[in-house]
Amino acid sequence: MSQEEVQNLPQFTILGGEAKFTELAEDGKLDLSKIEDPYLKYGGAYDEADPKNSSDFKYVKFDTVPTFTDDHKSLMSKVLTPELFEKLKDVKSDKGYTLSNAIMTGTVTPHLGVGATAGDENCWEVFKDLFYPIIEGWHGYDAATQEHPVDLDPSKLVFSEETKELFNKYVVSTRVRAARNISGYSLPCGATSEDRAEVEKILQQTFAGLEGELKGTYYPLGGMTDEQRDFLLQRGFLFQIPSAKNLLTGAGAARSWPENRGIFHNAEQTALCWVNEEDHCRIISMELGGNIPSVFSRFCSLSGAIEESAQKNGTKLMRNKNLGFMGTCPSNLGTGLRASVMIKLNEFNKLMEGDNQADKELLDQVCSRYDLQPRGSAGEHSPAVGGKFDVSNKQRLGFSEVQLVQKMIDGVSKVIELEEMLAAGKTPDDIRAVIDKEKIEETGSAAAEPVVEAAQPIVEAPVASQAEATTEDTTEPAAQNDA
């Protein structure tokens, strides 16, 4: 095939793009048998009849269970037995999303931790035999019997002036983010061009109606000037470009990129929305300092504005009593909320940079005790440049938004207390003793186990993206979840 013909292949970029063509071509022609298509490496064939195919992407159809390898880390690859595959292989959602569609990204992108996606709201019902065990493994939540609470009332947070003063001493910046999706429209993994355009239209109506501190500008991704793009890049506001390694590409969510995608931010650059990326809308509220109620209140206002706009268009947000807010990835169900602070923890950082392995793990152990997750400059379990760590809530599902933000406030307050103990000369063993005492008091057992890492998902969670792991002194948003 000629280079022009190869460029018209839907998976051209995944196959290696122009660089791979140049490497393998002879006399300007390429023998495709020289290329191993990573999208067909584990079984299946391109489904030429899938109406969701686009000029730059084709879905793979699996007639049998994919050939999972030791490289496959996802819960999907552990849950999907031959028997379950046979049960669901011919099932379709009411918008035509299939089992093959749902498992494609976890099959062709083996490192992902979840490995399954929903293409529309109905998927959570018709494929629940696949999704519910994944949810149990990732969140420790039984979606068949438990109900998820919703509470977006920031006035319920307990955050005294003393706590505010303490946080402003240690916290560099604060962020709260979550996804919102509009019922009646396919999610990005299964969306048609018409779906994406209609979702963008509804969200633009939302942004146009924002007033006061939320009033801002929407930038269509495909219509930006170089100046606008440079500005958004410098601020870290642009979402990731789809690549072979993230969820978006293998799930079909990057089809027809960048059509009907965009970024909104307010004038103060404290409110940000991503449109038609992994979900219909990713809401991000942020500001310098540690005023968590302020950031959460802004987040709640954005969520409410999107819900109101959906209702004006005769629909609602995707949500039910068991799963809470629904979206593309099982890892972001429930609240889907990530509340995080960039916090200076110089004493814990010194331990992490030291040679004692037990002491290097102390911050992870402390944060785990309070259902928090710390990230250093290179992601989890790593030191932080300047001692500035990203610390966020671990849980998403089974707790309300107010509960999770309050747990983050209380947990970070305790982390700061222990940081100050280290600064005053206490040892890592002293810190462990404090944690052990708390556990004894909590359980009423004098035989409490020593502090260890809290339970994690059955498989290793994905490494945080660069934007989520950043330790720069900015208010840049958390990037997409590559689960």
Tens of pLDDT, residue by residue over 220-235, are: 999 989 898 888 888 8
3-state secondary structure the chain: CEHHHHHCCCCCCCCCHHHHHHHHCECCECCHHHCCCCCCCCCCEECCCCCCCECCECCEECCCCCCCCCCCCCHHHHHCCHHHHHHHCCCECCCCCEHHHHHHHHHHCCCCCCCCCCCCCCHHHHCHHHHHHHHHHHHCCCCCCCCCCCCCCHHHCCCCHHHHHHHHHHEEEEEEEEEECECCCCCCCCCCHHHHHHHHHHHHHHHHCCCHHHCEEEEEHHHCCHHHHHHHHHCCCCCCCCCCCCHHHHHCCCCCCCCCCEEEEECCCCEEEEECCCCCEEEEEEEECCCHHHHHHHHHHHHHHHHHHHHHCCCCECEECCCEECCCCHHHCECCCEEEEEEECHHHHHHHHCCCHHHHCHHHHHHHHCCEEEEECCECCCCCHHHEEEEEECCCCCCCHHHHHHHHHHHHHHHHHHHHHHHCCCCHHHHHHHHHHHHHHHHCCCCCCCCCCCCCCCCCCCCCCHHHHCCCCCCCCCCCCCC
- Count other Cβ atoms within 10 Å, centred on residue 113: 24
Highest mean pLDDT among 26-30, 91-95, 253-257: 91-95
Least confident of 84-98, 291-305, 443-457: 443-457
**Whether residues 66 and 193 fall in one domain:** no
Q: CA 282, 79, 43: angle at the middle one, nearest 5? A: 90
Domain hosting 162: range is 154-469
CA-based nearest residue to 262, from 273, 251, 254, 270: 273
At residue 99, φ and ψ (nearest 5 deg) are: -60, -45
Instruction: Quickly state the pLDDT bin for 18 (edges 50, 70, 90).
Output: confident
Looking at every residue in the chain, the average pLDDT score rounds to 88
Residues 353 and 244 in one domain: yes
Residues 369 and 234 in one domain: yes
- 390, 372 in Cβ contact below 8 A? no
Q: Judge if 215 and 354 occupy the same domain.
A: yes
Domain boundary among 77, 111, 139: 139
Residue 482 located in a structural domain = no
Decide if pLDDT at 416 tops 80: yes
Instruction: Identify whether residues 313 and 401 lie together within a single domain.
Output: yes
C-alpha distances in Å from residue 334, one per residue of 20, 150, 295, 331, 344: 42, 8, 20, 9, 30
Q: Within this chain, do residues 383 and 423 fall inside the same structural domain, yes or no?
A: yes
- Asked whether residue 300 is domain-assigned, the answer is yes
Instruction: Calculate the alpha carbon distances from 253 to 12, 102, 119, 337 in Å.
Output: 16, 12, 9, 21
Beta bridge partners, 286, equal 175
**Residue 460 confidence (pLDDT) above 50:** no
Average of per-residue pLDDT across 172-198: 97
Structure tokens belonging to residue 463: 């490494």
Instruction: Among 80, 110, 139, give the residue marking a domain's end.
Output: 139
pLDDT for the residue 459: 38
Gap between the Cα atoms of 438 and 346, Å rounded: 24
Classify strands 60-61 and 171-180 as parallel, antiparallel or unpaired. Answer: unpaired
Q: In this structure, is residue 240 part of a structural domain?
A: yes
Q: How confident is the model over 347-403, as pLDDT tens digits?
A: 999 999 999 999 999 999 999 999 999 999 888 888 999 999 999 999 999 999 999
Asked whether the beta carbons of 60 and 100 are under 8 A apart, the reply is yes
Answer yes or no: is pLDDT of 453 > 90: no
What is the per-residue pLDDT for 246? Answer: 74
Do residues 64 and 162 share a domain? no
Phi then psi for residue 18, to 5 deg, are -60, -35
> pLDDT value at position 447?
45
According to the model, what pLDDT value does residue 483 have? 64
Residues 95, 120 contacting (CB under 8 angstroms): yes
CATH of the domain at 96: 1.10.135.10
Q: How far is CA 443 from the centre of its chain?
A: 33
**pLDDT tier, 243 (very low <50, low <70, confident <90, very high otherwise):** confident
Tell me: do 263 and 191 sit in the same domain: yes
Asked if the structure places residue 147 within a domain, the reply is no
- Same domain for 202 and 125, yes or no, is no
CA 381 – CA 453 distance, rounded (Å):
12
In DSSP terms, 257 is beta-bridged to none
Q: Are residues 125 and 163 in the same domain?
A: no
Which band of pLDDT confidence, cut at 50, 70 and 90, is reported for residue 252? Answer: very high
Q: Which residue has the higher pLDDT, 374 or 483?
A: 374
User: Do both 117 and 242 map to the same domain?
Assistant: no
Q: Does 478 map to a domain? A: no
Selection from 50, 48, 57, 144 nearest residue 95 by Cα: 50
Q: Quick one: tokens of 213?
A: 């501190």
Name the token pair of 148: 């998820």
Q: Which of 139, 162, 197 is where one domain is finished?
A: 139
**Sorting pLDDT into bands at 50, 70 and 90, what band is 475?**
very low
Q: Is residue 168 part of a domain?
A: yes
Task: State the pLDDT confidence band at 67, using cuts at 50, 70 and 90.
Answer: very high
Q: Is residue 483 part of a domain?
A: no
Total domains, the chain: 2
Rounding to the nearest 10 degrees, give the CA dihedral for residues 293, 296, 300, 303.
170
Tell me, yes or no, whether 161 lies in a domain: yes
Same domain for 230 and 128: no
On the question of pLDDT at 24 being above 90, the answer is: no
Share of the chain above pLDDT 70, in %: 89
